Chains A and B, each alone.
Chain A
Amino acid sequence: MTKEMTQEEDRLAQQRRGARTTALIVGGVALAIFLFTIFTNLEY
C-alpha cells in the first residue's frame, strides 16, 4: 500500500466519522424540537 493510498483512506475514514457525528447532532436537534413541541403544549 503506497503512502498516498493510506492518506486517501484516512481521509475517507475521517469523512465517515464526520458524517456520523453530523448525523447524530442534527438528528438529536430534531428529536429535541419534537419533544419540546409536545411538552410545551401539555395542559395537564
Chain B
Amino acid sequence: MATTTSDIQDEIDAHGHGAHDDHHHGPAKGLMRWVKTTNHKDIGTLYLWFAFTMLLVGGAMAMVIRAELFQPGLQFVEPQFFNQMTTLHGLIMVFGAIMPAFVGLANWQIPLMIGAKDMALPRMNNWSFWILPFAGSMLLSTLFMEGGGPAFGWTFYAPLSTTFAPASTDFFIFAVHMLGFSSIMGAINVIATIMNMRAPDMKLMDMPLFVWTWLITAFLLIAAMPVLAGAVTMMLTDRNFGTSFFDAAGGGDPVMFQHIFWFFGHPEVYIMILPAFGIVSQIIPTFARKPLFGYSSMVYATASIALLSFVVWAHHMFLTGMPIAGQMYFMYATIMISVPTGVKVFNWVTTMWRGSLTFETPMKWAVAFVILFTIGGFSGLMLGVAPVDIQYHDTYFVVAHFHYVLVSGALFSIIAAVFYWLPKWCGRMYNEKLATIHFWWAIISVNILFFPQHFLGLAGMPRRIPDYSTQFADFNMISSIGGFAFGASFLLLTYIIVTAIRSGEKIEEDRVWESAKGLEWTVATPAPYHTFDEPPKKAQILSESSHIGEH
C-alpha cells in the first residue's frame, strides 16, 4: 500500500474537510457521540467510567467474600458460589478495572503530554474500547448459566479449567480472548502514538515518565497478551476438539499450563504497576516543587523491570516439583527485580527530600502509594525466596501481598491520577475536605483489611476457602470489618467525583497545580475537545520538562 502524500491530500480534499476546518467543532450530541467517537478524550472518559463500574462490581464480589469469611463455618453462600466469587472478583478487577483504567488514563494523557492531536489510530481506539463492555458482560453472564460461572480461580489452572470446569467456561474463554484483543489493540495504539505522533521536537528522553512507563507497558502487553490468548485457545481445543495440551492422559502436561499462564501472568503484574510508577513520578515533583530526582535512572529502571519480568515466571510454581537449579535461578532472578524497584523508591523519596511539600489529595495518595506499595514489594521478596515459599505458597500471605501491590499500589495510583488530572479534564475542582476524609478513611480501612491477612497466611490459612478453622477467626473478623469499611469508602469517592464533575468549583488557570510541569498544563482548562493543532516548540517542551534541573 504505497500511499503518497498527494493521495492523502486528494482524499482530504474529496471529503471536503481539509486539515483546517474541522479543528474547532465540539463533540457530537447524544448517545451516538460516545458510540462513534474517535476522540482520545472521549474514549479515555469511556474507559475510566467502564473501569469504575467494573471496580464497583468486583468490589461487591469482594464484599460477598469478606461477609462469608467474617466467621468460621458457612454463613451466606455455597462453597461453589464462593469459588465463583473469588474467581470473578480477580478476573474483573484485573481485566475489567485496573487495566482499562490505565488505558483510559493513557488515552486522556498521552496525546496531551506529547503534544499530539490525538491517538495514532483513532478508529481502532474506538473499537478497543467498545469490545470491553461486551467482554465484561459475557464474563459476568456466566454467573447465570447452568453449572454456574468459572470457579477455578483467576489463574484458571488446568485441569480445573478443562476437564472439571462448568460449561460456561467456553464463554469465559471467549471473554478473555476479547479482553486480550482489546488490550493488544490498545497497546499497538499507544506504541504507534508515542513513536509517530510526538511533537517533532520532543526526543524520547524529553518525554514525561507517565508516557515512558506506558510505552514500556505497551511492549509488555504486546509480548504477554498473545501468550494468554494461546493458553485459552489451547484450553478451548482441549475442552471441545479432542486435543490434550494439558491432559496427561493424552500425552499433554498440566504443569505446562502453569508455565504458559505465568509467562503471561508475571509480565501482567508489571503491566498493572508500571503505569502506576509513571503516575507517581508525575505527581511527587509537582507537590514537592522540585524536578524529579534521577529521571534517566527512572527510565532505565522501568525498562529493566520490564525485561526481568519475562524471566521470573516460575517463582509462582516453586511447589510444582522443579529441579533445585531451576528454583535457585528463579529465586535469584526474582530478587534482582528489587534493585530497579529500589532505585525508583529512592528516587521518589529523594525528590521529596527538602522539597517545599504540600499534601493536596493527589500527593496524599502518591505518598500512600510509595509506603504501601513498598510493603507489598517486600512481602513479594519474601515470597520469591524458594525455601520459605514452601510455607507461604497458596496461603493468605499471598493474598495480602498482591492486594498491597494491586490495591494500595495500582488502584491508589489511579485514584491519585484522577484527583490530579480531573480538574484539567472537566475544569472543576473536587471538594478537598471530603477528599481528605475519604483518603484517611480508605487508608486506615485498607490496612485493617489486608494487614491481618499476612498473619493469617503465616499461621497457615489457605487462600480460596469459604470456611476455616477457629484459630483464624479473630484476624478474619478484623479483616472483614476493614473490608466493609473500605468498600463503603468507594460510595464517598463516587459522591466526591460526581459532585466535582457536576458542580465543583470552576477553575480558570491552565496550570491547575501551580508548580506542575508538562504540556498538559499548557492547554486551556477544561481541556478543549481538540488540542495541539500546532505541535509545541522545543523551548516549550524543555521548559515543561519535569526533569529540566537534571541536565
Q: Is B184 an interface residue (CB 8 A)?
A: yes
Instruction: Count contacts between A and B, CB distance < 8 Å.
Output: 97
Closest CB in chain B relative to A11 CB, distance in Å: 7
Closest CB in chain B relative to A3 CB, distance in Å: 14
Q: Is B197 an interface residue (CB 8 A)?
A: yes
- Interface set, chain A 11-44, CB cutoff 8 A to B: 11-20, 22-23, 26-27, 29-31, 33-34, 37-38, 41-44
- In the complex, the answer to whether A43 meets B251 with C-beta atoms within 8 Å is yes
The residue of chain A having its C-beta at the shortest distance from the C-beta of B227 within the complex is A37
Q: Is B223 an interface residue (CB 8 A)?
A: yes
- In the complex, the answer to whether A26 meets B223 with C-beta atoms within 8 Å is no
Closest CB in chain B relative to A44 CB, distance in Å: 7
Task: Provide the bound-state CA to CA distance between A44 and B227, in Å.
Answer: 20
Is the interface on chain B under 10, 10 to 19, 20 to 34, or 35 or more residues? 35 or more
- In the complex, the answer to whether A15 meets B256 with C-beta atoms within 8 Å is no
Task: Provide the bound-state CA to CA distance between A8 and B234, in Å.
Answer: 49
For the residues of B in contact with A, the DSSP-based class is helix
- Interface set, chain B 194-222, CB cutoff 8 A to A: 195-197, 200, 222
Which one of A12, A22, A41, A43 contacts B192 once the chains associate, using CB atoms below 8 Å?
A22
Q: Mark B8-30, 1 if CB is under 8 A from A, else 0.
A: 11001000000110000000000
Q: Is B260 an interface residue (CB 8 A)?
A: yes
**For residue A19, which residues in chain B have a CB less than 8 angstroms away from its CB?**
120-121, 192-193, 195-197
Which one of A15, A33, A41 contacts B196 once the chains associate, using CB atoms below 8 Å?
A15
Q: Is B151 an interface residue (CB 8 A)?
A: no
Q: A13-B9, A27-B188, A38-B233 are in contact. Are A33 and B245 (CB under 8 A)?
A: no
**For residue B187, which residues in chain A have a CB less than 8 angstroms away from its CB?**
26
- In the complex, the answer to whether A30 meets B226 with C-beta atoms within 8 Å is yes
Task: Provide the bound-state CA to CA distance between A13 and B187, in Å.
Answer: 22
- In the complex, the answer to whether B19 meets A12 with C-beta atoms within 8 Å is yes
- Interface set, chain B 468-522, CB cutoff 8 A to A: none
Q: Is B88 an interface residue (CB 8 A)?
A: no
Closest CB in chain A relative to B198 CB, distance in Å: 9
- Interface set, chain B 242-296, CB cutoff 8 A to A: 243-245, 250-252, 256, 260
Which one of A26, A34, A41 contacts B229 once the chains associate, using CB atoms below 8 Å?
A34
**For residue B245, which residues in chain A have a CB less than 8 angstroms away from its CB?**
41-43
Q: Is B137 an interface residue (CB 8 A)?
A: no
Task: Provide the bound-state CA to CA distance between A12 and B117, in Å.
Answer: 10
Q: Mark B315-354, 1 if CB is under 8 A from A, else 0.
A: 0000000000000000000000000000000000000000
Q: Mark B433-466, 1 if CB is under 8 A from A, else 0.
A: 0000000000000000000000000000000000
Task: Provide the bound-state CA to CA distance between A34 and B8, in Å.
Answer: 34
- Interface set, chain B 174-196, CB cutoff 8 A to A: 184, 187-189, 191-193, 195-196
Task: Provide the bound-state CA to CA distance between A26 and B314, in Å.
Answer: 27
Task: Provide the bound-state CA to CA distance between A19 and B223, in Å.
Answer: 19
Q: Is B5 an interface residue (CB 8 A)?
A: yes
The residue of chain B having its C-beta at the shortest distance from the C-beta of A29 within the complex is B222
Q: Is B62 an interface residue (CB 8 A)?
A: no
- In the complex, the answer to whether A26 meets B188 with C-beta atoms within 8 Å is yes
- In the complex, the answer to whether A26 meets B192 with C-beta atoms within 8 Å is yes
- In the complex, the answer to whether A23 meets B192 with C-beta atoms within 8 Å is yes
- In the complex, the answer to whether B195 meets A34 with C-beta atoms within 8 Å is no
Q: Is B386 an interface residue (CB 8 A)?
A: no
- In the complex, the answer to whether B9 meets A22 with C-beta atoms within 8 Å is no
13 A-B pairs besides A5-B20, A29-B222 with CB distance below 8 A are A5-B19, A13-B9, A14-B5, A18-B196, A19-B120, A26-B187, A30-B188, A33-B223, A34-B229, A37-B226, A37-B260, A38-B234, A41-B245
Across the A-B interface, give the 7 residue pairs with the lowest CB-CB distance, nearest first.
A37-B230, A19-B120, A34-B226, A18-B196, A33-B226, A19-B192, A22-B192
Q: Can you list 19 A-B pairs, Cβ within 8 angstroms, ordered by A? A: A5-B19, A5-B20, A9-B9, A11-B200, A12-B19, A13-B5, A16-B8, A22-B192, A22-B196, A23-B124, A23-B191, A26-B192, A30-B226, A33-B227, A34-B229, A41-B230, A43-B250, A43-B251, A44-B244
